[in-house]
């Protein structure tokens, strides 16, 4: 689809343990974001060093990595208009107690690192993170009969 963006989401181990995978996926589906990739990922120490490189000097870095490696995570690539910003809006602020009511983090979580979701925070990050976690052949382009109703004319 022209003029759409793709973004990477990870459903963290707390989402899996708390049986919230379906509820969270449903929030993105209902917005009209299209799932173009989805799989379990067992994160490694090396992957997390890269993924959370911006936090490597923080005191919580080691425990954050341990938290993320407790179970597999669910990786998703979502496509839609302004998908990167729209997904961040639906996810809410990092600290769930500062997140706006109605966001996934505010509605379903209470603390860090267990704030349920990772979502790319910009175009550069989205491109790098999709590449980090998905092979080209794991991303799918397909039509849905609802595309016209969700994305509007000219698709
Ligand atoms: N985090 C944490 N303690 C903090 C800040 C962040 O454990 O004080 C964790 C939290 O799980 C967060 C992740 O580190 O989601 C990545 O932090 P970032 O600042 O990139 O926030 P995000 O982009 O996930 O909102
Ligand atoms: Mg971040």
Domains and CATH numbers, the chain: 4-42+71-151 (3.30.70.141)
SS (HEC) of the chain: CCCCEEEEEEECHHHHHCCCHHHHHHHHHHHCCEEEEEEEECCCHHHHHHHCHHHCCCCCHHHHHHHHCCCCEEEEEEEECCHHHHHHHHHCCCCCCCCCCCCHHHHHCCCCCCCCEEECCCHHHHHHHHHHHCCHHHCCCCCCCCHHHHHCCCC
Residue 116 to residue 74: CA distance in whole angstroms? 11
What pLDDT score does 155 carry?
A: 46
What pTM value is reported for the model?
Answer: 0.97
118 lines ligand 1 (CB under 6 A): yes
- Ligand 1, atom 15, residue with closest C-alpha: 94
Q: Any residues with CB less than 8 A from the CB of 145 and at least 6 apart, and which?
A: none
CA distances from 92 to 15, 111, 122, 146 (A): 15, 13, 15, 27
Q: What is the mean pLDDT of each run of 10 residues along the chain (155 residues)?
A: 91 98 98 98 98 98 98 98 98 98 98 98 98 98 93 68
What pLDDT score does 152 carry?
A: 85
Pocket test for ligand 1, best of 100, 112, 128, 129 (most atoms within 8 A of CB): 112
Looking at the annotation, which residues are catalytic? 118
41 lines ligand 1 (CB under 6 A): no
94 lines ligand 1 (CB under 6 A): yes
Task: Say how many residues make up the chain.
Answer: 155
What pLDDT score does 154 carry?
A: 54
Residue 110 to residue 155: CA distance in whole angstroms? 39
């Amino acid at each position: 689809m022209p003029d759409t963006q793709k973004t990477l989401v990870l459903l963290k181990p707390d989402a899996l343990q708390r049986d919230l995978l379906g509820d969270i996926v449903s929030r993105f589906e209902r917005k009209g974001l299209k799932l173009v990739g989805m799989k379990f990922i067992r994160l490694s120490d090396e992957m997390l060093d890269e993924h959370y490189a911006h936090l490597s000097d923080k005191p919580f870095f080691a425990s954050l990595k341990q938290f993320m490696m407790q179970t597999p995570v669910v990786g998703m690539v979502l496509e839609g208009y302004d998908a990167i910003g729209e997904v961040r809006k639906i996810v809410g602020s990092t600290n769930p107690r500062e997140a706006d009511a109605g966001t996934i983090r505010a509605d379903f979580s209470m603390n860090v690192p267990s704030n349920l979701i990772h979502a790319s925070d910009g175009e550069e990050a989205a491109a790098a993170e999709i590449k980090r976690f998905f092979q080209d052949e794991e991303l799918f382009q397909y039509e849905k009969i609802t595309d016209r109703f969700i994305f509007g004319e000219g698709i």
